Amino acid sequence: MTSKPKAVKEYLSSKPREVQQRLEELRSYLQLADPKAKEELKWGKPAFTNNGILYVYAGLKKHISLHPTPSVIAAFHEDLKGYTCSENTIQFPLDKPIPKALVIKLAKFRVFEKLEKGIGWK
């Protein structure tokens, strides 16, 4: 039986190479939004936190997922057309580039709503 990762680096290295590369790419964009944020695992997935959860992300077989909050997804509904989304998840296919400008815009909005408006994780 395989044990669950206990740290972000361990989670990242447990994924196939293509998924690792995409996770590192997404991770670098998310870090730009709040350089003071800490990384830790939440529910077995990498998360950025700053006085609470900002966003969680994960790597799967065919996509990378970003979990901001429902309010972020609602605020950028038009920008997210063309991506598979749920109330709190955005999927970025592995076979397409991750939209750097869009991810940074989403992440900065989430940091703003968390740190300036006190909107917590839902």
CATH of the domain at 104: 3.90.1150.200
Residue 35 domain flag: yes
38 domain residue, yes or no: yes
- What percentage of the chain reaches a pLDDT higher than 70? 98
Measured N-to-C along each axis, helices 100-115 and 17-33 cross at an angle, to the nearest 10 degrees, of 50
Q: What is the pLDDT of residue 3?
A: 76
Report the C-alpha gap between 117 and 93 in whole angstroms: 31
Contact (Cβ atoms closer than 8 angstroms) between residue 37 and residue 114:
no
Domain carrying residue 62: 8-115
Q: How far apart are CA 81 and CA 33, in angstroms?
A: 22
pTM above 0.75, yes or no: yes
Q: How far apart are CA 16 and CA 24, in angstroms?
A: 12
At residue 122, the pLDDT reads: 66
Which pLDDT does position 78 carry in this prediction?
97
Coil, strand or helix: which one is 78? coil
According to the model, what pLDDT value does residue 1 have?
43
Among 118, 51, 65, which residue's Cα sits nearest to residue 93? 65
